Structure 1
Amino acid sequence: MTSFCAIDFGTSNSAVALPAAADGAMRLAPVEGAHTTLPTAVFFNADEHTREFGRAALASYIDGFDGRLMRSMKSILGSPLAESTTDLGDGSAIPYTEIITIFLEHLKRSAERCSGAPITRAVLGRPVFFVDEDPRADQLAQDQLEAAARRVGFREIEFQFEPIAAAFDYESRLAQEGLVLVADIGGGTSDFSLVRVGPDRMTRLERKDDVLAHHGVHVAGTDFDRRVELATILRELGYQSLDPEGREVPNRIYFDLATWHLINTIYTPKRATELKLMRHLYPETRHHDRLMRVVDERLGHALTARAEEAKIGVSAGGETMIDLEAVETDLRLAFGDAQLVEAGREETRRIVQAARETVQAAGVAPGQVSALYFTGGSTGLLFLTQALAEAFPQSQAVFGDRLASVATGLGIHAQRLFG
């Protein structure tokens, strides 16, 4: 007997939906212990020669095991980097696309343990755009994800846009028809779909005519993390310092340090040597000392994690402290709401503009949108959801499950296709 599933392979978090044994309705499967979502992370533990996933991967990395932690793998799809290889920390290398395959295999095995049957059919979620303004690269990204899914044993694969899936989840609780603008703001992309929804439409398998427009930008949670890190942590390492001639010190090192999948590129002997020779450019040599300590001790990913923690801490309310003891004793930075809003101002503007353009593309007036449905991890940023709500003041703001709405909606779509 074969079964089917729906997979939300997210930039930051992933989940799988399965038909329940009792009634056939779709349920989220436990994918890490009792958890029905897991961080999209793989740790290649060089000390113990193991692979760990999700929370376990992050814990091993934080505990200081040698190896390579991979996150945000989805963001490399469609880019030249996807077909290149990366060092695993033990002298071996592996293609980035193979890491995606390994992670999908873990999700599939978790689902099969839960279902008790092999799974060969799947609906996979995808962003509106894997790659902005490049249709060929965008199609390549989907092809790479499909190839990885086929390598792990899926034979029948369908794709659905993630914000449309979220609309299906929202629709299942509606009593009347309306126009919903789904805002799916995750770790890597902000996607919007304007969808006609209602209880009488739920039974239709073909919903193409109900999707009035969709649009998205490759701007989301990790971009806010990057801005936070540049605005706070990396200034303490010399970012935007002026050299003796009044020019900014070279900034590429800082942009790479703030971009998860580029961090390992700064640890090569060549780049480390180049950085050492730049000491004379820094008016405050302590900044250069801190930068070299980060490079020599490979602290880049830890700093990125600190920036993400600061963003989450402030978005939950109040001020937080960024602990940089690993870089220098007693080095701590205060970080508050006003700084977070300012750091992410440009990203917020671009996301709100993408929402407006989605509605304009449908030929619909903003006042005709009955609801804004928020899903995705980054909708926990209050200032961001407020900015979107202000752009559509006549629409009801509705918050779905930030980490599970897309997976649930993909499951609904999978049930219609395969069930």
Structure 2
Amino acid sequence: MTACGLDFGTSNTTLGFVGGNGPRLAPLEDGADTLPSAIFFPRTGAPLVGRAAMAAYVGGEQGRLMRALKSVLGTALIDETTPVGRQRLGFKAVIAEFLATVKARGAEAAGCALDKVVLGRPVHFVDGDAAGDARAERVLGEIARDIGFADLSFQFEPIAASLDYERQVSGEELALIADIGGGTSDFSIVRIARGHQDRADRASDILANEGVRVGGTDFDRQLSLAMVMPLLGHGTPLKRRGLSMPVGLYQDLATWSAINRLYDGKTARTIRELEREAAQPDLVGRLARAVEDERGHALALDVEAAKIRVAEAGATRLDLAVLEAGLSVGIDHGDLVRHTGLLAERIAARIGACLKAAGLQAEAIDALFLTGGSTRLAHVRAAICACAPQARVIEGDTFGSVGTGLAIEAQRRYG
């Protein structure tokens, strides 16, 4: 039996353990140590996870795709069911199915059973709701036990990232760890020193933790609502004066965890009724087809990919053939900043709160350690770096630092 660290992320998941050559991440899919947090239930056969799940869906196979599952923890959705073929599955069961696959693949890589785990968790699963936050942790723990982990504990994700960074330092320093993930943004101020790694109690080295429920999927949603959903009638009027298309339909279609709500038949009929009442029925017709053909996830994947291309190249053309042949929209860095700038500001504001909680000025921070996929967004990165302008900026493993740190913590706690 061995211990592992499990980073169940909104967008990607990793599992790490300590072997003869130190901490390592398990290959979870085709040699890759990151597994997209997605699961696809085909009409027949076993569920698919990760890239295989998304490929099956995009390829047109009939079934149900679910992604961003972590975002339902701490919300009322966790107690609800969703249609999967001819049955309905609870979200707990869906998450358990996904994580059981991760555990099995991790055990295969480790060469032994995994029965102990340190689970990563955001500083806040839910903003401003201590009861909801505690409930989210409890539910995740229950799921972990259900899939066979006999011993489990939790560690804040930015603290885990700091353990990965600590392997690189030679002296002592104060580090601000910024973990900007798919669903949350988390910060910790930690006293880092190589000689501290084996201490049983690191409480005195953790000066402050802060977090906010804003992450990469929120950037996807805002970009979709601003640049794509107007092409489906978002914001357009109905023929009856003073009425417009219901906003909630577009919010659900732009939100990973809510897309499946639209696939209930009744919603499709409602949209067709709205199409007849719409001042621009051709646009609403695109919305109707997206829902009837269950292409919401494909649209969300296209928006996410466009965001990444803008981050890398400054501009892109988003092909919306999934909605209508020849339809597309141009998106550049200015669009991304204009429509998601407030999210970057919300993220950066938590750094100020973290510094205040630690009783420190920005100048006291020696190193700013960045991890998480959304640190690749230039305006997010700039907003974070502006909060500690004198600190050295250290690039962590974008998707692997937390999992590696959790593996280190699992070894320390469970041996």
TM-score category, normalised to shorter length: over 0.9
User: Paired residue for 1:125?
Assistant: 120
User: Paired residue for 1:29?
Assistant: 26
**In the alignment, is the contact (CA less than 8 A) between 1:315 and 1:381 conserved in 2?**
yes
User: Paired residue for 2:210?
Assistant: 215
Instruction: Give, as a single letter, the amino acid of the residue that structure 2 aligns with 1:285.
Output: P
Q: CA deviation at 1:326?
A: 2.1
Give the counterpart of 1:251 among 247, 253, 272: 247
User: Paired residue for 1:265?
Assistant: 261
User: Helix, strand or coil: the match of 2:195?
Assistant: coil
User: Helix, strand or coil: the match of 1:147?
Assistant: helix
Q: CA deviation at 1:272?
A: 2.0
Deviations 1:352-375 (A, max 9, x none): 101111111111011111111100
Q: CA deviation at 1:115?
A: 2.0
Moved more, 263-272 or 52-61: 263-272
User: Paired residue for 1:65?
Assistant: 61
**In the alignment, is the contact (CA less than 8 A) between 2:4 and 2:16 conserved in 1?**
yes
Give the counterpart of 1:54 among 42, 50, 54: 50
- What is the alpha-carbon distance in structure 2 between the residues aligned to residue 73 and residue 92 of structure 1? 19
Give the counterpart of 2:378 among 373, 377, 382: 382
- What is the alpha-carbon distance in structure 2 between the residues aligned to residue 390 and residue 377 of structure 1? 19
Where does structure 1 lack aligned partners over 5 or more consecutive residues? none
Does 1:4 pair with 2:12? Answer: no
**In the alignment, is the contact (CA less than 8 A) between 2:34 and 2:400 conserved in 1?**
yes
Instruction: Give, as a single letter, the amino acid of the residue that structure 2 aligns with 1:86.
Output: T
User: Paired residue for 1:13?
Assistant: 12
- What is the alpha-carbon distance in structure 2 between the residues aligned to residue 248 and residue 400 of structure 1? 46
User: Helix, strand or coil: the match of 2:138?
Assistant: helix
**In the alignment, is the contact (CA less than 8 A) between 1:249 and 1:281 conserved in 2?**
no
Q: CA deviation at 1:123?
A: 0.8
Give the counterpart of 2:186 among 188, 191, 214: 191
CA RMSD of aligned residues (A): 1.3
Q: CA deviation at 1:92?
A: 1.2
- What is the alpha-carbon distance in structure 2 between the residues aligned to residue 348 and residue 9 of structure 1? 23
- What is the alpha-carbon distance in structure 2 between the residues aligned to residue 30 and residue 267 of structure 1? 34
Instruction: Give, as a single letter, the amino acid of the residue that structure 2 aligns with 1:17.
Output: G
User: Paired residue for 1:83?
Assistant: 79
Does 1:332 pair with 2:328? Answer: yes
Q: CA deviation at 1:108?
A: 1.1
Q: CA deviation at 1:4?
A: 1.1
Instruction: Give, as a single letter, the amino acid of the residue that structure 1 aligns with 2:100.
Output: E
User: Paired residue for 2:176?
Assistant: 181
Instruction: Give, as a single letter, the amino acid of the residue that structure 2 aligns with 1:166.
Output: A
**In the alignment, is the contact (CA less than 8 A) between 2:120 and 2:156 conserved in 1?**
yes
Deviations 1:270-316 (A, max 9, x none): 22222222235432221111111112211111111111011011001
- What is the alpha-carbon distance in structure 1 between the residues aligned to residue 287 and residue 112 of structure 2? 51
Give the counterpart of 1:41 among 8, 24, 38: 38
- What is the alpha-carbon distance in structure 2 between the residues aligned to residue 33 and residue 302 of structure 1? 22
Q: CA deviation at 1:143?
A: 0.7
Q: CA deviation at 1:116?
A: 2.1
Deviations 1:89-133 (A, max 9, x none): x21111101111111111111111122222211111011011111
User: Paired residue for 1:315?
Assistant: 311
Moved more, 368-377 or 270-279: 270-279
TM-score by length of 1: 0.96
Deviations 1:368-409 (A, max 9, x none): 111111001111112210111112211111110000000111
User: Helix, strand or coil: the match of 1:232?
Assistant: helix
Does 1:237 pair with 2:232? Answer: yes
Instruction: Give, as a single letter, the amino acid of the residue that structure 2 aligns with 1:163.
Output: P
**In the alignment, is the contact (CA less than 8 A) between 1:132 and 1:217 conserved in 2?**
yes
Q: CA deviation at 1:317?
A: 1.6
Give the counterpart of 1:404 among 390, 394, 400: 400
User: Helix, strand or coil: the match of 1:33?
Assistant: coil
Runs of 4+ in 1 over 3 A off after TM superposition: none
- What is the alpha-carbon distance in structure 1 between the residues aligned to residue 71 and residue 26 of structure 2? 24
- What is the alpha-carbon distance in structure 2 between the residues aligned to residue 414 and residue 254 of structure 1? 42
Where does structure 2 lack aligned partners over 5 or more consecutive residues? none
- What is the alpha-carbon distance in structure 2 between the residues aligned to residue 417 and residue 12 of structure 1? 27
User: Helix, strand or coil: the match of 1:344?
Assistant: helix
Instruction: Give, as a single letter, the amino acid of the residue that structure 2 aligns with 1:142.
Output: E
- What is the alpha-carbon distance in structure 2 between the residues aligned to residue 104 and residue 121 of structure 1? 14
Give the counterpart of 1:145 among 140, 146, 149: 140
User: Helix, strand or coil: the match of 1:283?
Assistant: coil
User: Helix, strand or coil: the match of 2:234?
Assistant: coil
**In the alignment, is the contact (CA less than 8 A) between 2:17 and 2:404 conserved in 1?**
no
Identity of aligned residues (%): 40
Q: CA deviation at 1:10?
A: 0.7
**In the alignment, is the contact (CA less than 8 A) between 1:233 and 1:303 conserved in 2?**
no
Instruction: Give, as a single letter, the amino acid of the residue that structure 2 aligns with 1:7.
Output: L
